[in-house]
Structure formats: structure tokens, C-alpha cells
Amino acid sequence: MPNPDKKLEEIFYGATFDDFLLRPQHGTVSTRKEINLTMPLTKGISINMPIIGANMDTVTREKMMNTLSLEGCFGFIDRNCSIEDEAARVKYVKTQHSFVIENPIVLYKKATIKEAKNIINKKGVSGILLEEEPGTKILAGILSHRDLLRNDEKNEYLVEEFMTPYKNLVTAKSRISIQEAERIMFQNRIEKLPLIDKNRRIKGLITMKDLRLAKQKPYSNKDKKGRLLAGAAIGASGDYLDRSEALLRAGVDCILMDVAHADSDLLKKAFKNFRSKFKNVPVVCGNVATKRGAKFLMELGADAIKVGVGPGRGCRTRLEVGAGIPQMQAIREAYLATNGKIPIIADGGIKNDKDIFMAIAAGASTVMLGSMLSGTDESPGFITDDPITKQRVKIYRGMTSPEAVADNSNSDNLDEALSTPQEGQSVKVPYVGSIISVINRISGHLRSAVSYAGEKTLYDAHKKIAQNPQDFLIRLSAASQKESFDR
């Protein structure tokens, strides 16, 4: 265990990612594929890949969050929008790809074929559950897309004449495992399995399509109900409590209370207000960059802390204000201060895949990425052609850049918002295609690093190196940096 009173080790003073190499250890795995990359996100939540999408409006919105969760990573949807929009984005993620549809569409069995067709087309579903009496949710049967095709001319007929009635249906109880559902559906050759209680009340629906998707991505991060995990950000002033309430109603799994300088009275007050209203919600707090700041957030009760002041690609804090701590030093300070008791998210400044391993070796559990994820299909914004470089590019912008500030202001407060000093900038990043190929590349490099560290899991490599970094990390000279990275 690290010791909070322990002095920062010499190798970390003034250091960032390119200052280190990992000393290769004796390898213990026969194939790198078997190396596990699961790491803690918070005290109570683990994720299968230690990558977190930054809460920025050019990085993580519903499409990015959805894909990150499906691929075993995580993210926080940004708050540079109305409460309703942010909550809707969380809801979108929470209603995608669950193997159980908790609130399936239900229609009265005496509705007409025309009404059923309208609903099926509008909602894009392939079948519909029918109830005995309006509002009772007592299962009467299923009407499938195929039943409708056969009866194209019979719009005014009642659906009950064409449905498969309850007595011919295979059903199951609501607390069913994915394996059991698959076995029942396979044995009975059915595409849909309604879930009911002992009074025949509809409790959910499982479709073969959703089961297949869940099985294709066994490493996805899901909640107990099989829904993808979603995170979202709030601030520490203004609407943060109302925003939290809406996000929780939408099903958010983890909230990020995010301010530029979290070692502050402002954050303390906001955190206490939040906790008195929402008792058991996992909350990540940030950003801090010092021992003192990290200890402060842990003692306040944060479930994880986010570390980084000024290393980000879209940041101008260090240039304009002069404040900050080199990122490897900041991660190490946070690890020593928190005694390894709560997970650390290393946020900002990661440019190469090896930086991710270095952050985790110094004491972080996960890393937050902004610019590295921003040139993908899943990030918000358009692909354009850069007239100078002729490259295909997307825009990545700091959240306090004039562009982001202007987008989050209305005509009444725009002048005031733009006249406050900005510490963010907007840059063009190369378009790189789908985030999935970026994640695959990173996971390959991380597995390779774990193998060089002589371990079988990223967690074991993290624990081993973070406890005695001087035995495993080599601080580079200017000449060895050149030898390592100058190509």
C-alpha cells in the first residue's frame, strides 16, 4: 500500500508521459489475448477497458457513449446543453441494446390492424404484445410483423383475429438469465419471449435480435438489467441539482461533478448539497492535480477522482495562467494521497497509446481521452476537408474555448460569457474512422504492455508498478527520449 505521508519519489518531479519507459520483465502469458484489462471506474463500478470519453461537446454524446459502453469502455456525456437534452442522451444509451426490453409496446387486443401497423412502423419494431383489457397489461397474445404482411387488405379487422394467442405462447418469468432465455428461445424456435408475472401481467420482452447482439459483445459494460452503462456530467453551481435529478430519472449510472479547480470551497458546498439529496449515487469529482486536492476529494466522499490541470489538447490554462502540474507527477501525487483507496481517472494530455499504460503504472485506474477520440465517426460534429493539408478533419474544442462558450450561451449572456477570460482552444484533428478501430488498437498495445510488465492482468501490473514505481519505470534523459521517440 502506498503511504500518504510518503514523499513524492524523485523520478516523478516535473515529469510527464514521455519522461518514462517501462523496464521489461519476465513474460508469463502464452498469448496476449488472454490478458484481462478490467479496471475500477469507481469504488463500486468496474469497466472492461480503462478508457473514458471526455465530457466535451466534440467528444462524448449519445453515439460515442453508446459505442464506448458496447466496447467495454465508459464516458461522460457533456453538460454544454439543456438539462432535457443531456437527460435525453442518457436515456438513449440506456434504452439501446439491453437484452430485456423493460417497457415493451403493448396494444389492446381489440385495436385494429391499421392501428397496429401504424405503431409498428412508427416505433420500428418487428412485433407487438397485446393485452386483454386496455391498461391491464395482462398478456393476450403477440402480433408479429409477419401476421400483418399476410393481411394487407384487412386494415379494419381486429388484431385479436390474427394474433398468436396466449395459450400458444412460450413465456418466462422476469428474472431470467441471458443463458436461460437463449435456451428457451432456441428449443422452441421463437424470436420473441414475453416475460410475465404470476398474474400474467407483462413484465418485459426478450427478442432474439437483442440476445445475439448481447452475445457478440460479451465485454460490454452493462448494469444489472443488461442495459449499457452511461455517465453524465454536472457542474458545481447553477442548475446542477435539477440536472442531476433529470439524469438520474433517465437512468444514469455514474455522475461526474466536474469543475476546472475542484480543490475548492465551491465544490465542497456543491458536493454536500448533492449528497444530502442523492445518497447512493456514484459520483466522480474533479479536477485536481495535487496531493492536497486528491485527499480533499477523497475525504469529501467522492467515489473516484479525476486528475489533471492543464495537460489537455484543448487547454490553454498553463499557457495563459501558468497554473498546473506535469501530468505524471499529478497522477502520482493523487495516488500517494489517496493511499490507493479510491480509483483515479487520469484526465488529459494522452497523445499515444503508451501514455495510457504509463498513467496506470503511476497510479491511475483509468484514463480520460478527449482529442484521441475526437476524430472518429462517433464524436459529434462533421467531417470536413482541410484546404491547406487536404486532410479530412473534425473539430475538437476545449470546453472553455470561445466557440464552446458561445454555443452554451444565449443572446442575453453571450457578451458577458465571451468577455470572461477563456482557457480553451479549438483545433482540427484528423478524421480516423470508427472509434472501434481506435479502441482495438489501444487494447492491443495495453495487452502488450502488461505482458512486458510480466503480468496477466492490467490490474496486477498497475498494483505492482504503482507500489514500487522506481523498480519498474526508468526516467529518461534527453538523449534517451530522442532514442525512444524520435523516428
Nearer to ligand XMP, 194 or 370 (CB): 370
Q: Which is nearer to ligand XMP, 148 or 256 (CB)?
A: 256
Interacting residues of 26 by C-beta distance below 8 A, sequence separation 6+: 454
Residue 160 and residue 130 in contact, taking contact as beta carbons nearer than 8 Å: yes
Nearer to ligand XMP, 42 or 317 (CB): 317
C-alpha distances in Å from residue 392, one per residue of 350, 374, 388, 434, 437: 22, 13, 11, 14, 17
Interface residue with ligand XMP among 75, 204, 424, 469 (CB under 6 A) is 424
Of the pair 195, 372, the CB lying nearest ligand XMP is at 372
Cα 159 to Cα 138, 164, 196, 317: the distances in Å are 16, 10, 21, 64
Q: Please report how close the Cβ of residue 315 comes to ligand XMP at its closest, in angstroms.
A: 3
Contact flag: residue 423 with ligand XMP (CB under 6 A) = yes
Cβ atoms within 10 Å of 33's Cβ, excluding its own: 8
315 annotated active-site: yes
Binders of ligand XMP among 366-405, rule CB under 6 A? 368-372, 398-401
Residue 131, H or E segment? strand 127-131
Query: Which of 310, 340, 343, 469 touches ligand XMP (CB under 6 A)?
Result: 310
CB of 265 to ligand XMP, least distance (A): 20
469 exposure class (CB count in 10 Å sphere: 0-12, 13-18, 19+): buried
Cβ-Cβ contacts under 8 Å for 145 (sequence gap 6 or more) = 120, 126, 127
**Range in contact with ligand XMP (rule: CB under 6 A) among 6-14, 189-197, 227-235, 364-372:** 364-372
451 binds ligand XMP (CB under 6 A): no
Q: Does 262 bind ligand XMP (CB under 6 A)?
A: no
Among 106, 166, 165, CA closest to 134: 106
Among 348, 363, 375, 469, interactor with ligand XMP by CB under 6 A: 348
Q: Of the candidates 314, 326, 363, 469, which one interacts with ligand XMP according to CB under 6 A?
A: 314
Q: H or E element: which one contains 120?
A: helix 113-123
- 350 contributes a contact to ligand XMP by CB under 6 A: yes
Which DSSP helix (H) or strand (E) runs through 150? helix 145-150
In this structure, which long-range contacts are made by residues 166-169, counting pairs with CB atoms below 8 Å and at least 24 apart in sequence?
166/139, 166/140, 166/141, 166/200, 169/139, 169/141, 169/142, 169/194
Site map 23..62 versus ligand XMP, x via CB under 6 A: -------------------------------x-x------
Cβ closest to ligand XMP, residue 213 vs residue 260: 260
Which residue lies nearer to ligand XMP by CB, 329 or 371? 371
C-beta of 177: minimal distance to ligand XMP in Å?
37
Please state, in angstroms and as integers, the Cα–Cα distance from residue 401 to each residue in 52, 95, 222, following that order.
21, 33, 34
Which of 176, 167, 218, 222 minimizes the C-alpha distance to 197?
176
Task: Give the binding-site size for ligand XMP (rule: CB under 6 A).
Answer: 25
The residues assigned a catalytic role are: 315
Judged by the rule CB under 6 A, the positions of this chain that interact with ligand XMP are 54, 56, 287, 308, 310, 312-315, 317, 347-350, 368-372, 398-401, 423-424
